[in-house]
Amino acid sequence: MARILLDNVAHAYGPTPRGLPDYALKPLNHAWENGGAYALLGPSGCGKTTLLNIISGLITPKQGRILFDGKDVTQLPTAQRNIAQVFQFPVIYDTMTVAQNLAFPLRNRHFPAAEVSKRVSEVAQMLELTAILGKKARGLTADVKQKVSLGRGLVRPDVSAILFDEPLTVIDPHLKWQLRSQLKALHRQFDLTMIYVTHDQTEALTFADTVVVMYEGEVVQIGTPADLLERPAHTFVGYFIGSPGMNVLPADLRGNHAVIGGGYEIELDRPYREIPPGTKLEIGVRPEYVRLSSGEEGIPVAVQRVDDIGRIKVARVRLDGVHLNVVAPEDARIEGDVSRILFQSGHVHLYADGHLVGGAAS
Amino acid sequence: MDKTWNNKAWFMVLPVLVLVAFNAIIPLMTVVNYSVQETFGDNVFFFEGVKWFQQVVNSERFHAALLRQLTFTFTILAIEVPLGVAIALTMPRRGPWVSVCLVLMALPLLIPWNVVGAIWNIFALPDIGLLGRVLNGIGLDYNYTRQPEDAWFTLILMDVWHWTSLVVLLAYAGLSSIPDAFYQAAKIDGASRWAVFRYIQLPKMKRVLTIAVLLRFMDSFMIYTEPSVLTGGGPGNSTTLLSIDLVKVALGQFDLGPAAAMSIIYFLIVLLLSWIFYTLMMRNEERS
C-alpha cells in the first residue's frame, strides 16, 4: 500500500547537466496514487525507463526526492523498497525450477519455509503456473517466463507497486491480449499500484486508468485515455495517440478565429487574448472532427487518397501544402480530386509552441 | 522438384581434403606405420605387431610420466579456472578501464612459449633471478634446479601466469553477455552477492567455462615448450611430463617404434579424457 510521490525529480546520465536538454528526465512532480493503474507512454528514448528505474531505485536521481507514503526513500536501495519490476526481456533463473524461481525473493529475505511454500502455491494458482511448478525454468516459452518473473514480484507480501518495463515486447500477439487482461484482473483483485511502460498506445489505453505521456524527457500530459483523445495537452500527444493522429496546422489568431494557410478562417470555441507575440501558433484537430463535405460549403482541398480503416473511411487531403487526415463520409462529394472540408467547432484546439493554450496541460 | 546431381561439387572439396591429408592424416599414418615396426637404420624395417604398445603400456617410466602429467594438469586446472573466474568478476564491465584490463590480461598470451620458459628460467634462478633472490631473501631454501618441489612450484606458477588470462578472457566474455536486467531483477529480488554469482553469473558462464576447461586441459596435457626450456624435465626426472619423455625417447634415444606407439597412446589418452570432460560438463545441459 503506497502512494508514490515524486518531488521535483530529475535525472541526467553522465556529468552534471548544464541545461534542460542534458536531462534524460526533466524535473517532474507527480503522485502515483495507491491502487492506480498507470501507463507510461512515449516513443523509445523519451525517458520512460529512466523514470521507472528511479521509482524502483535502480537509478538514484540527480535531484529531487521520492516519497513512499511520505517516507523519503530516495537513497534507499532497491531491495529495501516494496517494489517489484518486470523487465522487457523475461528474467528467470535458468538453473532453478519454476517453484524455486517464485520462492527466490522470499528465501533471500529469510521467510520461514512454511510461508514460502504457501505464498508460492498461492501465486502459482493466481498465474496458472501450478502445473509446471516442478519444471526447470530454462525451457519455458517467453510468455510463461514473463509470468514467472511477474510471479516473483507478486509473491512478496510487502509489495505495493509493480513496475512493468514494456513486458509484452517479446510475447506473441495472440498471447499479449491474454496476459494483459490477466494483469488487469490481478490489478482489480489486489490493492496494487501498477505502472506500465510502453510505446504502444493500444496497450497503454486499454491497461491504464491514467496515462502519462512522455516526450524528450518531459511529461507532456497526465490524463485519462479520454482526455488524451479529446484534449491533447501537447501537439506531440495529439500526433502520438490516435490512429491516425491529430492534424496540426500552422495558424494565426484573429479574434475567436484561427487563420490558416490560404487565408481561410476557422472558428475557435472562445477568443484567446493571453498569447504573447512571437510564439508559434498552431491549431490541432482530430481527424474525427474534420469531414469531407457532401455539399458546396467548406474549405477546398486536394484529395490524395481515401483509406478504408474499418468502421470509417479516412481521406488524406492537402490544404495549402499541409497534409490532413479527415473523415470521408459515404456521401462525400469529390470532383476530380477536389473536395471541401468542414471543421467541427468545439474540437479545434489552439497550441502555442506545442502546448495547449488554456488547457489542462501538465 | 528433382534434385540436381552435380558431381563436380566434389572438386570444390578437394583442396581441403588435400590440406587435411597433408597436415593430419599422412603424418598420423606415418606414426602408425612406425609404431608397428622395428628399424636399425638404413630405412630397413621389420614388422613387430603390437610389441611396442605392450612395452609402453607396461613401462614404469611411462606410468611415472603419465602420473606427473595428470598431477600437473589437474593442479593447474584447479588453480587457473577459479582464479580466472575470480579475476573476470572483478574486472570493470564498462568505461575506459575495460580496454586497459583486457590488454593487460592478453599480454602473457602474446609471448612466444619458449620466451615464457626463458623468462621464468632466469626470473627464478636462485643466484641472479628476481624471484629466486626474493624467495631466498625471505629465508626459504629455494632452488628449482636442484629441488623437485621447487621445480614443480616454479613450473605451476609459470603456467598459471601464462594461461590464467585465457580463462579470464573467456569468463569475461560470458559475463559481458548477461543483460543488465538480470542484475536489476536480482537487486529487486534481494539476492546476495553470492546468490547473484551462483544463480546468474555461473549459469551464464557455463558454456564458455566448459570451453575454457577443455582448452586448458588439452593444452596443459600436451605442454612441452615451457617446461622444456624451464627445467628440461629435471632435476632428475621430476618434471618430465609426457611430451618431454616422448621427445627423449624419440630424439634422444632414437627409438622410433616405441616413441610412435607412445605417441598414439598419448593421443588416445588426450582424446578419451577430453571426451569424458565434455560429456560430464554437458550432461546437465541435456537433462533439462
Each residue's pLDDT, cut to its tens digit, for chain A (362 residues) gives 578 888 888 888 877 767 777 778 888 888 888 888 888 888 887 888 888 888 888 888 888 888 888 788 888 888 788 888 888 888 888 888 888 888 888 888 888 888 888 888 888 888 888 888 888 888 888 888 888 888 888 888 888 788 888 888 878 888 888 888 888 888 888 778 888 888 888 888 888 888 888 888 888 888 888 888 888 888 888 888 887 888 888 888 877 788 887 778 888 877 777 677 777 888 888 888 888 887 777 888 888 888 887 777 888 888 888 888 888 877 777 777 778 888 887 788 888 888 888 643 33
What's the average model confidence in pLDDT over B245-266?
82
Question: CA of A200 to nearest chain B CA: how many angstroms apart?
Answer: 21
Pairing between strand A37-41 and A210-215? parallel
Least confident of B110-124, B208-222, B229-243: B229-243
For the stretch B84-101, pLDDT in tens is 999 999 988 888 888 898
Q: Name the one residue in this structure whose C-alpha cell is 507527480.
A: A30
Chain A residue closest in CA terms to B202: A95
CA distance A296 to A274: 35
Q: Do B188 and A85 touch (CB under 8 A)?
A: yes
> Per-domain residue ranges for chain B?
7-282
For the stretch B150-207, pLDDT in tens is 888 989 999 999 999 999 999 999 998 888 888 888 888 888 889 889 888 988 888 8
For the stretch B212-230, pLDDT in tens is 988 899 889 888 888 888 8
Question: CA of A40 to nearest chain B CA: how many angstroms apart?
Answer: 19
Q: What is the pLDDT of residue A360?
A: 38
Q: Which homologous superfamily does the CATH classification assign to the domain defined by B7-282?
A: MetI-like (1.10.3720.10)
CA distance A340 to A291: 8
Angstrom CA distances, B196 to B184, B185, B186, stand at: 10, 10, 7
pLDDT beyond 70 at B103: yes
Q: Structure pTM? A: 0.74
Fold of A4-233: Rossmann fold (3.40.50)
Instruction: Inform me whether the C-beta atom of residue B200 falls under 8 Å from chain A C-beta atoms.
Output: yes
CATH 3.40.50.300 spans which residues of chain A? Answer: 4-233
Query: C-alpha angle B199/B204/B210, rounded to 5°?
Result: 115
Question: CA of A105 to nearest chain B CA: how many angstroms apart?
Answer: 4
SS3 (DSSP) at A248: strand
pLDDT beyond 90 at B259: no
Dihedral sign for Cα atoms in the order A165, A171, A173, A177: negative
Question: CA of A149 to nearest chain B CA: how many angstroms apart?
Answer: 9
Q: Do B181 and A109 touch (CB under 8 A)?
A: no
Chain A residue closest in CA terms to B191: A108
Chain B CB contacts of A136 under 8 Å are: 288
What CATH number should be reported for the domain whose range is A237-356? 2.40.50.140
Q: What is the pLDDT of residue A331?
A: 73
SS3 (DSSP) at A251: strand
To probe the interface with B, which of A104, A107, A195 has the most B CB atoms within 10 Å?
Answer: A104
CATH 2.40.50.140 spans which residues of chain A? Answer: 237-356
Q: What is the pLDDT of residue B80?
A: 93
- Chain A residues whose C-beta sits inside 8 Å of any chain B C-beta: 53, 56-58, 77-79, 83-85, 87-89, 91, 93-96, 104-105, 108-109, 136, 138-139, 149, 152-153
